[in-house]
Structure 1
Amino acid sequence: MNTNLPDATRNTSLFGGLSGRFRKPAAPLQPKTPLVVAIHGGTYTSAYFDVPGASLLDRAEANGIPIVAPDRPGYVDSAMLPGAEGTIGGQATALTHALHDAWTHFGEGTCGMVLIGHSIGGAIAATIASDPRGLPLIGLAVSGVGMLTPPEHQPMWEALPDLPIVEIPAEAKAGFMFGPEGSFDPGMPALSTKVAGTGAPRAELVDIVSTWSARAPSVLGRITVPVHYRQAEIDHLWICGRRQVDDFAHALSAAARVDAAMVAGTGHCMDFHHVGRSLQLQQLAFALQCAAQAPPR
């Protein structure tokens, strides 16, 4: 069943006031199946996970896994958070409340929740996992997020127009989001922008470059569930390298287990690159593994 909530219904109470997408396999769920929650990054809506040819929602459905992809506050029909609450921490708090509703509505027949987060959505997902507040969390998979941003990015983002929502020009956005020529289909930058691109709340763009690096070690250190981490080798939004991947993994000192690796020759939005299918299948396999090993509820 393909349920794209913003189009099919305006009943955003299913997500605690957030719009979004939900996909559930038509066949009965197998035992030990997780509910996957996909949290998008900045300048993309929940449709980031549903771009034709790069759809995590399609792959989850094909593998018998129900999946929820909310629009974060400030995106599509999800109300903007007040200024000071539009940070990574504020978004995490709002989403935690919404995901309790999502679990009530969509969790039936599943054994727990696995978060998949990309970019700013990865930082938010990690923050939720560090303090899940009663969510039935059994795993976390993140990509496109590191611990250190290039030093020149903070003044660049802080110089953005003082508006609640900031639009990034398409050419500049493609330069940030995509890797080298040949690592993605030439039509994907335009397609992904058409399907999922949008403006982003200024507060989260500034926060990810101004406070995340200082907070990341303590956030990661409080996560106890298993973690799957992938970082693109050629990611223009983060300082990247094997050392940085190792540092990220080391910071996850309390996690039940950590699978961390750098992905060679690809860019920030790995889902939209040729490695995207591999990444998404790995994330879904990780979710199934977390479900298989989850204690009875």
Structure 2
Amino acid sequence: MKRFSLSLSNGAQLSGIVSVPPRISTTPHYQPLIVGIHGGTYFSRYFDAGTTNSAVRLAETLGVPFVSIDRPGYKDSTALPPVPEGSTFLQEEGKYLHGYILPKIWQEFGASSGATTIVILAHSLGSPSSIVASALHAREAQPQYPCGGLIMSGWGTAHGRPSESARDIVANGVVDGRIAWPLEMKDGPMFGDPKLGRVSPEILGMGAELNTSMSLGEFEDGSFHWIDYWLTYAKEVKVPIMYGMGEHDVLWKATRETVQDFAREFTGSPRVESGVVLGAPHCIELSYWGPGWVARCLGFAAECAAAEGVSRRVAAGQA
């Protein structure tokens, strides 16, 4: 695993971490390039945290290339331009992801890794822009990158906290256009009561190392506006989808019904797998459930890559 910094076609910078294991005799013929999209108040290290919770390292063990980005405005990634009238933050981030970030990632790491297609792995506030990007990808006859699947966790249709709580954060918690959660306020929603032991002491000890501020724009849009327009994008997504919610997610209501409500809106997808991860908190990937969840994600992504690769061979008359 190593950090990277790339110059995008619009002159902006993109930072993150990447792992490209060498192809060996046991490497599957068709392979996904996982692109991790972190949530709010985290950054690319979300997918490379701890001894046993690192999605990047687990992928490396299985020979799967993995790129985890710092979303725009996080770490060394250039912030989004001002949101134009009539649009929203998360729509613009999705356009940016589709128009600049994913094409560059594929150009830089796709062929060199031997990957067949990109599969997006999004957590929480990384999910909306990933949905938008996947919908925009489906609209193009000749997209700049292949996208074979979308995996999401920690995002839903019914907020777990009253809107007044979010309005209070907007009114009192913004400094220079960003919101910072002190760890004493953040760990509870992310992991639950520490007495319940859902997260290892190692991960809890990394709290300050993994913590950063989030933009007011993404928080406002995700809290108040996204729910009003997301269906327009969801129905356009054409790739297979895997979706999970931790049973004890505090930020969202996580029941069989709410999970099904979310999943059923992806009417254009040929395959939608969804479920509640029993016992898990909001940050499934950082919890004791993380290795199991990530292993399932990698398996799903491998199936997406196989479907994409074989489909191309058939279309080319090479089956």
Give matches, 1:116-265, under 5 Å. 116-132=121-137, 133=140, 134=143, 135-149=145-159, 150-152=161-163, 153-159=165-171, 160-161=173-174, 163-180=176-193, 181-191=196-206, 193-265=207-279
Looking at structure 1, the residues matched to 228 and 186 of structure 2 have their Cα atoms a distance apart, in angstroms, of 25
Question: Which blocks of at least 5 consecutive residues in structure 2 are unaligned?
Answer: 314-319
Is the Cα contact below 8 Å between 1:157 and 1:206 reproduced in 2?
Answer: no
Question: Which blocks of at least 5 consecutive residues in structure 1 are unaligned?
Answer: none
Out of 76-85 and 172-181, give the one that drifted further: 76-85
Give percent identity, aligned residues only: 31
Looking at structure 2, the residues matched to 232 and 213 of structure 1 have their Cα atoms a distance apart, in angstroms, of 20
Give matches, 1:262-281, under 5 Å. 262-281=276-295
Looking at structure 1, the residues matched to 91 and 135 of structure 2 have their Cα atoms a distance apart, in angstroms, of 11
Out of 270-279 and 131-140, give the one that drifted further: 131-140
The amino acid of 1:81's aligned partner reads: L
Kindly tell me the number of residue pairs found equivalent between the two proteins. Answer: 291
| Cα shift at 1:196 | 2.1
| Cα shift at 1:11 | 4.4
What SS does the corresponding residue of 2:13 show, helix, strand or coil? coil
| Cα shift at 1:234 | 1.1
Looking at structure 1, the residues matched to 63 and 174 of structure 2 have their Cα atoms a distance apart, in angstroms, of 44
Q: Which has the larger radius of gyration?
A: 2
The amino acid of 1:137's aligned partner reads: C
Question: Which residue is equivalent to 1:296?
Answer: 312
Looking at structure 1, the residues matched to 23 and 80 of structure 2 have their Cα atoms a distance apart, in angstroms, of 38
Looking at structure 1, the residues matched to 128 and 253 of structure 2 have their Cα atoms a distance apart, in angstroms, of 15
Looking at structure 2, the residues matched to 120 and 186 of structure 1 have their Cα atoms a distance apart, in angstroms, of 25
Looking at structure 2, the residues matched to 285 and 124 of structure 1 have their Cα atoms a distance apart, in angstroms, of 23
Looking at structure 2, the residues matched to 232 and 111 of structure 1 have their Cα atoms a distance apart, in angstroms, of 30
- Cα deviation digits, residues 109-148 of structure 1 (max 9, x gap): 2111100000000122122111125131110000001012
| Cα shift at 1:13 | 4.4
Q: 1:87 to 1:125 in 2, by over 3 A?
A: same
Looking at structure 1, the residues matched to 294 and 28 of structure 2 have their Cα atoms a distance apart, in angstroms, of 20
RMSD over equivalenced CA pairs, Å: 2.0
